[in-house]
A and B are shown apart, each in its own frame.
Chain A
Amino acid sequence: MSDKDSQITDGKKRYSAGVLRYKQMGYWDPDYQPKETDLIAMFRMTPQEGVDSEECAAAVAGESSTATWTVVWTDRLTACDLYRAKAYRVDAVPNTGPGTKTEQQYFAYIAYDIDLFEGGSIANLTASIIGNVFGFKAVKALRLEDMRIPVAYLKTFQGPATGVVVERERLDKFGRPLLGATTKPKLGLSGRNYGRVVYEGLKGGLDFMKDDENINSQPFMHWRDRFLYCMEAVNKASAATGEVKGHYLNVTAGTMEEMYARAEFAKSLGSVIIMIDLVIGYTAIQSMALWARKNDMILHLHRAGNSTYSRQKNHGMNFRVICKWMRMAGVDHIHAGTVVGKLEGDPMMIRGFYDTLLDTHTPMQLEKGLFFEQDWASLNKVMPVASGGIHAGQMHQLLTYLGDDVVLQFGGGTIGHPMGIQAGATANRVALEAMVLARNEGRDIWNEGPQILQDAAKWCSPLKAAIDTWGDISFNYESTDTADFAVTPTASN
């Protein structure tokens, strides 16, 4: 190892004014053993031409922790060895570099001491980890792929206000995915007409109806009108079926004061659930989670905006990291992909998101994009929501891929039903219950699924109409966010 590649340990040399390489400053330490209390971040880096991968990793470690572009003597007033993040491992990303279609990329593992972060603050955590470093010139592109959050840090967060277990207890709904639908058209309905869609969907058999992310308080429907009509619909449907029903009332607004006011109104009307959008920001989300815990409210999060930074594979951040942060921030629901619907999603990647939201302890599984083992420190579980271009004819695939702890949201697949909204809802509920029953009986629903649906359609005309209308609709596009590692079969002993 040449001098320019190793940490300068002589204090006088290290802190003489001027510019050093990040490796010389001590941000690269291949021998470092991460402590149990360290946060570990794993980045996908595309270095600029001529920047070697270890120096690039050191630069990322430096710029996301204590470094600035030049040496400062004031470091010597601090326990700087502790606060310096340490890049300790760099791996070439499979299928990148010469001979492939993709520029050479590297996975860089960087460890951060827990004292670099304020407890209970996603804003503080992210200001370091995805702060200035993403615009840093030495990297052409940078993507935060995964993080290992230490138990000690997790314990400083409230976590989901309600969690999957208590949500099910409050709703009295067990043993099957929950069913929902987003009211359509998403914009333009008056409060009275909007509530009609909610009532029909819930009476027909859905558990939840939902506001869309951009339904707030517009000229065609102000928020109080929407809340009043929706709650009339929810209560009427509850009386018509004998079930607990809900409508995600979107309280997203321009200020915290206004969001609190809307949330209080939702509570006064007896709603079991409210909704916010990811675009309100991490701090606002944490505040609403505290409010939700205090007021026995389920908190639904729509991930509006995430694809601007999570979809492209070379830059931004992976959605699994958003899942981790949102579990810490304290939401109860988050949209996390459908696999088979109209929105982006590779099956294994989506399973990785679901595991991140639902496991009490997640093992490292590279094929799912989970680079770290993660102990969730008894934080509640977040209910994943599958929404976007799904219909009853895919029920066997949805149940196989997504399991029981999920809200399946059929918007168009309910409201666009040829026999009406109630029939659309009934078709979805019958398809779901028939599929769960068959799976529990030990049937191979992946292969027998279409037949199971056909058999149920014999006595359920709404299901028959749904299958006749949408049976062949699928969205087969290649995913952009895919695993870098495949499962390699090995012989068992």
Chain B
Amino acid sequence: MMTNHGNRLTQGQFSYLPDLTDKQISAQIEYALSKNWALGVEYTDDPHPRNTYWEMYGNPMFDLKDASAILTEVNACRKTFPNHYIRVTAFDATQGVESVQMSYIVNRPKKEPGFGLTRQEIGGRQIQYTVHSYATDKPEGERY
């Protein structure tokens, strides 16, 4: 079990708050839509801090401007992958940004075993550190 605050993975912009309700998720979707950002749903069972490419639950929804329809997609992903990490990501295509503007976790496994730190002692007093996710000791799709 993780020993940090909340005993949980704290990636994303709201992981220090209690799990978001559907109503709260909708409000954040509305906020992104009001900024003209496109929303995407992504999931993974490999939560390493440098695992950039979570699987996409479909392409970002560039043409969907209805928060309730987007929430339906979020919930469909949760239903399909109830024990994965799922995040909602907002993409901004404005010049000077052209990147992610929001990212927050909306689903997580029941048990989060966390990460180990592998230390490789090399020359002098230097140590090379590798962060290792305990969950990835198991094969893809069988991790949580």
Question: Which of chain A's residues have a CB closer than 8 A to the CB of B16?
Answer: 205, 426, 429-430, 433
Complex Cα gap A240–B132 (Å)? 11
Among A204, A205, A430, A436, which residue has its beta carbon within 8 angstroms of that of B13? A436
- 18 A-B pairs with C-beta separation under 8 A: A173-B13, A174-B100, A205-B10, A228-B127, A240-B3, A240-B115, A241-B4, A241-B10, A242-B114, A243-B49, A244-B49, A381-B96, A430-B17, A433-B13, A434-B17, A436-B13, A437-B17, A441-B27
Say yes or no: A238-B131 contact (C-beta < 8 A), given A422-B5, A437-B17, A441-B31: yes
Q: Is the CB of A270 within 8 A of B101?
A: no
Complex Cα gap A105–B97 (Å)? 41
Judge if B52 is at the interface, Cβ distance under 8 Å. yes
Among A228, A240, A244, A437, which residue has its beta carbon within 8 angstroms of that of B2? A240
Q: Is the CB of B5 within 8 A of A440?
A: no
Complex Cα gap A141–B97 (Å)? 41
Judge if B62 is at the interface, Cβ distance under 8 Å. no
Q: Is the CB of B115 within 8 A of A242?
A: yes
Chain A interface category by residue count: 35 or more
Judge if B116 is at the interface, Cβ distance under 8 Å. yes
Q: How many whole Å from A312's CB to the nearest CB in chain B?
A: 34
Q: Which residue of B lies closest to A231 (CB)?
A: B129
Say yes or no: A437-B24 contact (C-beta < 8 A), given A228-B125, A241-B10: yes
- Identify the interface centre among A172, A232, A381: most chain B CB within 10 Å of its CB: A172
Q: Is the CB of A241 within 8 A of B9?
A: yes
Complex Cα gap A174–B16 (Å)? 14
Judge if A165 is at the interface, Cβ distance under 8 Å. yes
Chain B interface category by residue count: 35 or more
Judge if B40 is at the interface, Cβ distance under 8 Å. no
Judge if B68 is at the interface, Cβ distance under 8 Å. no
Complex Cα gap A436–B129 (Å)? 33
Judge if B102 is at the interface, Cβ distance under 8 Å. yes
- Identify the interface centre among A243, A422, A456: most chain B CB within 10 Å of its CB: A243
Q: Is the CB of A440 within 8 A of B95?
A: no
Say yes or no: A232-B127 contact (C-beta < 8 A), given A165-B98, A239-B116: yes
Q: Is the CB of A236 within 8 A of B114?
A: no
- Of residues 373 through 426 on chain A, the ones whose CB sits less than 8 Å from some CB of chain B are 378, 381, 422, 426
Q: Is the CB of A269 within 8 A of B126?
A: yes
Judge if A168 is at the interface, Cβ distance under 8 Å. yes
Q: Is the CB of A239 within 8 A of B114?
A: yes
Q: Which residue of A lies closest to B94 (CB)?
A: A360
